[in-house]
Amino acid sequence: MSPDTHLIIHNVMCIISAIVLVGLIVFTYYNGPRKAENIMWCFSLFFVGIFIISHVLGVNIKDPALSRNVLMFNLSNFFIGSCTVHAFYALVGKAREKRWIIILVHSAALIITLVLLTNFDSFLLPSISKLYFINYYNPGILNWYRVAFVYGVCVPLSIYTLYQQYKTRENRTERKAYASLIVTIICAFGIAFIPNFLVYDIKIDPLWGMTSAIVFSIPFLYGAVKYGLFNVKIVAKQAFFYSIAVVAVGGFITLLNYLNQVLQNLAPGFPIWITPLASSVLAVTVGVIIWRQLRQGDLLKYEFVTTVTHKFRTPLTHIKWASENLAKTELPEDSREQLNYIQSANKNLVELTSLLMNVSETENKSYEYQMGKNDISLAIDQVIVSLSDQLNSKHIHIFKNVEPNLYTRFDAVRIKFIIQTFIENAMHYTNEHGQISVAATLDGKNIICRVKDNGIGIPKEEIPLLFAKFYRGARARLADTEGMGIGLYMSKEIITRHDGKIWAESEGTGKGSTFIFSLPIKK
């Protein structure tokens, strides 16, 4: 194999690795945009990407001094190591406990980098030709700091941290998760070490080391999806696989364009339009496939919800008829109270079923909003009265701070549904003898309604997801196993149709939560 061909293969492998890293960063960040472990792992992968890009550019530059200047980005290795340590301490929940180690590692990476930047020759001398490379790393006297810091400090510290968790975990699945991650890290950093041999004139092809991102991605993604590492959620998996397809196609198109340039150099008469045509056909084909899959998923959801809600209506109608017939008979006072409760619950369920159908068919005009001038304070009173038995059974105290005569135009049934959803959620996620406060005030040109509880609270990273369809947080699923995760989504749809706003607030787990909506004043 000629040196030129060998260099082309090396460059292609670097491009593929860089594309894989972009996919991994997106995947990791998407699954936990506010999690420290996800953020630091994204930074670690980002610095790996800087190294790979600077590497492939530097070894292809003919000027030795310019090549050395580009390869100086190899200093990113120090931050790969420090961010990896930080990510794994955060993953195992020891970031606060080990904060001084984290600070020390980050500080060491920064100080060493700044020192080496003041004297390029101490880290890298002007590049020289090695193997099939036009120019390659020519190490300075302090270049070994990089290897010592990453492989002598950061990698052992990361593996030890994971191994400690592996030993102490009693759950077999958790042990497998940490074992999987340990093996992944050993393989990734082990393969990534290969380019260092040629740096120190040991003639081992660095090409194999440039596959580390690809090799790493397979066990990492397997562990992340199978064991939930880095907070992977079921709802994210389908989006992840689509994003991988898009990244793969983007990478293939990049390779086609690169090969087109190579072919132009090797065969000047080669038609330049073939590669762009192939890229366009591939992009359109994949786009159509993904669009059809997403559309098919939406159709299946629509059919499922429509079928279920229609099936609900028949037994609900029978319950209504039976309860109405019973109401015409003589019943003891206790039985009549229970019958009233059944009728009220049935009415609420009928309204919920209608709203559920409206979720899948938001543009359907068969269930129009009945807008009229109504009083929010009256709607709140009616909802609280309808839920009084449930509040009493759980010994929950409810406090009202509602201004009277809060009139505006809204659909009374739907707004009461939102208030009921807020209060019922507060009941479900608050312990017995808890407290719920309901407030409604006039704030400029808007009516603000708040329902606050002192219950289980909401982690900050879950707040942006609360109003997504069928979403339920982990603690919410434990506290209330029967919820569907649809009430808040429908509440958002209703408020949107009223030109209002809806949001949630919480200081965190165990600190209660507040759900708020606003309605504009309309004559």
Listing DSSP states for 45-97 in one string gives HHHHHHHHHHHHHHTT-SSHHHHHHHHGGGGHHHHHHHHHHHHHHHHTT-TTT
Average pLDDT of 416-428? 89
Residue 504 β-bridge partners = 515
pLDDT higher at 359 or 327:
327
Reply yes or no on whether the pLDDT at 236 is more than 50. no
Using alpha carbons, select from 471, 482, 486, 33 the residue that is nearest to residue 235.
471
pLDDT in the model for residue 259: 60
pLDDT in the model for residue 126: 94
pLDDT higher at 204 or 258:
204
The Cα 160–Cα 153 span in angstroms is 11
Reply yes or no on whether the pLDDT at 72 is more than 50. yes
Average pLDDT of 27-38? 75
Give the distance from CA 150 to its chain's centroid.
29
Average pLDDT of 460-479? 67
pLDDT in the model for residue 485: 63
Using alpha carbons, select from 491, 421, 488, 485 the residue that is nearest to residue 451.
421
Reply yes or no on whether the pLDDT at 456 is more than 80. yes
Listing DSSP states for 207-276 in one string gives GGGGGHHHHHHHHHHHHHHHH-GGG--HHHHHHHHHHHHHHHHHHHHHHHHHHHHHHHHH-TTS-TTHHH
CB 178 within 8 A of CB 166: yes
H or E stretch covering 134: strand 133-139
pLDDT digit string, tens, across residues 274-333: 656 665 665 566 556 655 655 555 555 555 566 566 667 667 777 877 888 877 787 787
* 437 φ/ψ angles, rounded to the nearest 5 degrees: -120, 135
Six token digits for residue 91: 């993953």
Angle at 41 between CA 36 and CA 46, to 5 degrees: 125
The Cα 431–Cα 453 span in angstroms is 10
Confidence of residue 137 (pLDDT cuts 50, 70, 90): very high
With pLDDT > 70 as the criterion, what percentage of the chain qualifies? 74
Average pLDDT, the chain: 79
Q: What distances in angstroms separate CA 341 from CA 320, 327, 331, one per listed residue? A: 12, 12, 14
pLDDT in the model for residue 85: 93
Give me the residue label for tokens 């990476």. 109
At 402, the amino acid letter reads V
pLDDT higher at 154 or 348:
154
> Which residues are CB-neighbours of 30 under 8 A, at least 6 positions away?
236, 239, 240, 243
Residue 128 β-bridge partners = 136
Between 134-148, 192-206, 287-301, 496-510, the lowest mean confidence (pLDDT) is in 287-301
pLDDT in the model for residue 483: 52
Angle at 110 between CA 37 and CA 107, to 5 degrees: 65
Between 14-23, 206-215, 247-256, the lowest mean confidence (pLDDT) is in 247-256
pLDDT in the model for residue 321: 78
| Dihedral angle of Cα 358, 359, 361, 362, to the nearest 10 degrees | 90
Reply yes or no on whether the pLDDT at 363 is more than 50. no
pLDDT digit string, tens, across residues 480-516: 545 556 778 888 888 888 889 999 888 888 888 999 9
Confidence of residue 365 (pLDDT cuts 50, 70, 90): very low
CA 102, 108, 69, 188 torsion-angle sign:
negative
Confidence of residue 452 (pLDDT cuts 50, 70, 90): very high
Give the distance from CA 34 to its chain's centroid.
9
The Cα 132–Cα 246 span in angstroms is 33
Q: What distances in angstroms separate CA 453 from CA 396, 425, 434, 439, 458, one per listed residue? A: 10, 9, 8, 12, 11
pTM surpassing 0.75? no
| Residue 360 CB burial class (10 angstroms; 0-12, 13-18, ≥19) | middle
Taking 3-state DSSP, the helix, strand and coil percentages for the chain, each rounded to the nearest 5, stand at 70, 10, 20
pLDDT digit string, tens, across residues 208-226: 888 777 777 766 766 665 5
The Cα 25–Cα 43 span in angstroms is 8
Between 181-195, 258-272, 373-387, the lowest mean confidence (pLDDT) is in 258-272
| Residue 428 CB burial class (10 angstroms; 0-12, 13-18, ≥19) | middle
DSSP state of 455: S
pLDDT in the model for residue 86: 93
